[in-house]
Chain A
Amino acid sequence: DQQVKQNSPSLSVQEGRISILNCDYTNSMFDYFLWYKKYPAEGPTFLISISSIKDKNEDGRFTVFLNKSAKHLSLHIVPSQPGDSAVYFCAARTYNQGGKLIFGQGTELSVKP
């Protein structure tokens, strides 16, 4: 039972353009959502998060949008840079589950110069 899904295993974008990574979830009890970035042979690095009481959070080039009615989350990167090339994981949690994060399977982003 996969509660968090990233249906695109890979995405290729030209440098300077917008990258949009998508995530769908099924559990309406999720109250906090996160995006992580992962380079090979390294651990996931926290990128940006959003609480379920908000619909948008922005940090520099990164913006996360939450559509609760559609149970959909997206990460926008503008402008995309070659250094953004990595695997991006969406994750979610419910407040009463001991901090347990449920991860999607990841989307590999490639930003071409």
Chain B
Amino acid sequence: DTAVSQTPKYLVTQMGNDKSIKCEQNLGHDTMYWYKQDSKKFLKIMFSYNNKELIINETVPNRFSPKSPDKAHLNLHINSLELGDSAVYFCASSQAPGQPQPQHFGDGTRLSIL
């Protein structure tokens, strides 16, 4: 059973479109995250939610809007897609954010903007 699952795995779309990426975890974790891996392979945090509440927003453009309907799901909606949004987006989850516990990652969504 996949612990952290993201859909879709690949997303190819045109500039200006709106798209969503879904993430679900079945680990019973309280905290979920979105990371972006850019062309230079750096993994950088975008958002974190703890029990459906936003706790980290790393100066991400407001075209990116995370939504957490419950603590097992954290979706990412992106409006007016730009070329620079092309990247791999990873969802992750962990127990309470203050605990020294590892984060578990999904397999990523590769977003390509044409």
Contacts and interface: CB of A to CB of B under 8 A. Distances in A.
Contact of A99 (B33, B41, B44): B33
Nearest to A51: B100
Most A C-beta atoms less than 10 A away, residue of B92, B94, B102:
B102
B84 to A, nearest CB: 19
Q: Tell me if B's interface is mostly helix, strand, loop or mixed.
A: strand
Contact of B42 (A32, A96, A103): A103
Interface centre among B40, B94, B100, B107 (most CB of A within 10 A): B100
Contacts of B94: 99
Given A43-B4, A43-B106, A99-B33, A105 B97 contact: no
Contacts of B48: 98-100
Contacts of B103: 46, 99, 101
B100 A43 contact: no
A97 B33 CA distance: 13
Interface string A57-88: 00000000000000000000000000000010
A45 interface: yes
A95 B43 contact: no
Interface residues of A, number: 25
A100 B45 contact: yes
A65 to B, nearest CB: 17
Contacts of A44: 43, 90, 105
A22 interface: no
Contacts of A31: 100
Contacts of B106: 43
Contact of B56 (A51, A91, A100, A103): A100
15 contacts: A42-B107, A42-B108, A43-B106, A44-B90, A45-B105, A46-B104, A87-B41, A95-B100, A98-B50, A98-B56, A99-B94, A101-B43, A103-B43, A105-B41, A106-B41
Interface of B: 4, 31, 33, 35, 40-45, 48, 50, 55-56, 58, 90, 92, 94, 97-98, 100, 102-108
Q: Which 8 A-B pairs have the closest CB atoms?
A: A99-B97, A43-B105, A46-B102, A103-B43, A98-B55, A32-B100, A98-B56, A43-B107
